[in-house]
Each structure stands twice: as structure tokens, then as C-alpha cells.
Amino acid sequence: MRVIVGITGASGSIYAVSLLRALFNHGIEIYGVCSSIGKEVMQTECGVGLSDFPFVNWNAADDMSAPIASGASCADSMVIVPCSMNTLSCVASGISNNLLQRAAAVMLKESRKLIIVPRETPLSIIQIESMLKLANAGAIILPTMPGFYKNPQSIQDIVNFIVEKILTQIM
Ligand SMILES: Cc1cc2nc3c(=O)[nH]c(=O)nc-3n(C[C@H](O)[C@H](O)[C@H](O)COP(=O)(O)O)c2cc1C
């Protein structure tokens, strides 16, 4: 199984970091692309960089000739986590300003699974309409809305709740 993980500059890099480790532990082939602000936020929030994940096939966000920019590459699924409102709006509008957005557009046009994990609050009507557009186009909108009925004891427990929801969609 091949999965693309797109990481944007929304808060919540810990979701991406935890998902990458979980995918690796499941033996899944991972292709990664991270926006420039995504790298900054990951360093700020988690104190790690892309080189801390050598098991990921990283693609530069400006590399439009990377295989994941083409429908011929066809990963099984793509997760954008955390997904900024900027990237969400671009993908909903069919805009491909960088490799991450292009890879998402490819998943939609090829009818492959695209899981979007938005992080923002409160939400404007524009953002809600963008989510509706994406859901109508076949994407799965999986917001960072952890449940608390499992009595989480740590931040990692809360994060794992969402990571497990993502894994359930991928598998
Ligand atoms: C520390 C930090 C936290 C941010 N958190 C969010 C957020 O939670 N959601 C969001 O939509 N944008 C957030 N932003 C703004 C995005 O990074 C900004 O809109 C950026 O243009 C997103 O670019 P990208 O979609 O290419 O990653 C944050 C920015 C910074 C610096």
C-alpha cells in the first residue's frame, strides 16, 4: 500500500508526526510533501524536521515533476494533515500552486481516496463551503475533533484518537 502524506502550515504538526510513525509501523510505503510553512510549524510545535523521518520518500513542495504530481503514480490514498484553510481552499477551487495541492487534485481526478484533516476554529462560511465542495468531490473531511469518551490521559492519547480515525480510512 502506498500513501501520500501532505503536511501544511496549520497548527497540529503532532498529528502528522504521529501518523507518519504509525504508517511506518504498519509497513506502508510513504510519500511525503510538506509546505514551506508546514516545515516551520513542525519545527516550532514538535522540534523535528523532515530528516527525522528517513523512512518517508520526501518530495520538495515546488517539485512539480515528482511522480505524485501525475495520475500515473496513483497512490492508494492521500492524507493532508494538518490541513490549513489555505490549502483546503486551493484544493476545493482546483488550484495547484504547489506539489501538495497538485497531488490532492490528482487524487480527486483519479477517484482515489483523499482524506483532509482541517485545523481551524471558528470556521467562516467560505471555509465550510470549501469543505462541502471537497466532500461532494469525494474527499473525506476528518477534522481534528478528538472524542473524550476514552478518558485520554495525555496529549498523545488525544492525538492517537485522530490518528486511529485516519488509519481506519486508509486501511
Ligand atoms: C504557528 C502557526 C500556526 C498556524 N495555524 C494555522 C491553523 O491552525 N490553521 C490554518 O488554516 N492556518 C494556520 N496558520 C496559517 C498558515 O500557515 C498560512 O495560511 C499558510 O499560508 C498556509 O500555507 P500552506 O497551506 O501552503 O501550508 C498558522 C501559521 C503559523 C505560523
Mean pLDDT score across all residues of the chain: 96
Residues contacting ligand 1 via CB (< 6 Å): 8-11, 35, 37-38, 41, 44, 84-87, 119-120
pLDDT in tens, 151-167: 999 999 999 999 999 99
Q: What does the DSSP 8-state code read for residue 155?
A: H
Q: For residues 114 and 28, what is the distance between their CA atoms, to the nearest angstrom? A: 16
Grid cell locating 135 = 466532500
Domain count within the chain: 1
Query: Domain span at residue 85?
Result: 2-170
- Ligand 1 pocket mutation pick from 7, 41, 46 by most atoms within 8 angstroms of CB: 41
Whether residue 21 has pLDDT greater than 90: yes
Assign residue 36 the CATH number of its domain: 3.40.50.1950
**Residue 71 pLDDT:** 86
pLDDT in tens, 96-133: 999 999 999 999 999 999 999 999 999 999 999 999 99
Grid cell locating 1 = 500500500
**Residue 73 pLDDT:** 75
**Residue 120 pLDDT:** 97
pLDDT in tens, 66-87: 999 998 877 999 999 999 999 9
Q: For residues 167 and 154, what is the distance between their CA atoms, to the nearest angstrom? A: 20
Q: For residues 59 and 33, what is the distance between their CA atoms, to the nearest angstrom? A: 5
Grid cell locating 45 = 510545535
In this structure, the number of other CB atoms found within 10 A of the CB of residue 139 comes to 22
pLDDT in tens, 24-58: 999 999 999 999 999 999 999 999 999 999 999 99
